Amino acid sequence: MSKEIKRIAVLTSGGDAPGMNAAVRAVVRTSVFYQLECYVVYQGYQGLIDGKIKQANARSVNNIINKGGTILKSARSLEFRTPEGRQKAYGNIKKFAIDALVVIGGDGSFTGAMIFQSEFNFPVIGIPGTIDNDIFGTQHTLGYDTALNTVVEVIDKIRDTASSHNRLFFVEVMGRDAGHIALNTGIGAGAEEILIPEENRGLDQLLESLKRSEKSGKSSSIVVVAEGDKTGKNVFELAAYVEQNLPYYEVRVSVLGHMQRGGAPSCFDRVLASRMGVHAVESLREGKSQVMVGVMNDKMELTPLEDAIKGKSEINKDLLRVTDILSI
């Protein structure tokens, strides 16, 4: 682990997130700055197994900081979950004489990196890339801020049509088992109710809230629902239940889906990705490994990969109080 780092490889894995390209750019250019060779791996861990590895330079990553998705592609790799698959990947790493690996992805990607490091004593470092913001050890993951802006923009448009027809809209947003996107966009878009996995408000409380909204003179309402919320079996059954019990509401459902992952990264995500990429390379040069780069109180921090995987990101409880106050 104390071997001098001369060649670094970078890959993206798991679900794509805006800002991944900016992070790749930062890793490549920081490597060049420190006179290290840098290699990019296409199609995630599967590309590592298949030898889809190419040397990069500062010009290789021109004009990608503004692009969404990942130019390196991302793919699920069942083969990497096997010892034989990881052995093939390590064989290609030795073939290209790579000394360390930067993995941009979520907790599943970090699990693969941690196993790989433990099996081959090979330096790895993680950069959190997921719109869900559900990684322990960082207050912001790459793509989260962009997703918030995308969702708020769409809900603003939905509110235009909701108010025109006096309708109640249930808007489902991503987030997996975390409510960060729903909670923040719900406040930002002025939603009447926000349903998240961390706070099971129950159907009765939802109905009472909507009754109060109707009695207070609200002609239209927006309910933001995190995909992991368990108030109803799914957002469509939840909407049907409300329409059945509150027949004066005309209910519609909008599932935003994968549009939340797309689009050019926000300025915040571009800057965050750049900082994380620089810190990842510098940390490897200092002999750090099996850690994730994160941002806490606007400072770059390192968290052991195991903690990043097993830890739980917490929602801001004060935001729950804010939404209760403002939804009257």
Residues labelled as active-site residues: 132
* Residues 9, 98: Cα–Cα separation, whole Å: 7
- CB-CB contact of 18 with 46 (8 Å): no
Of 26, 28, 22, give the one whose Cα is nearest residue 40. 28
Q: What is the largest CA-CA distance in the chain?
A: 70
Collapsing DSSP to helix, strand or coil, 142 comes out as strand
Nearest in space to 151 (alpha carbons), one of 129, 181, 180, 175: 181
**Element of type H or E holding 109:** helix 107-120
Rounded-to-integer distance, Cα 114 and Cα 79, Å: 16
Measured CA to CA, the distance from residue 180 to residue 315 in angstroms comes to 6
Residues 222, 203: Cα–Cα separation, whole Å: 16
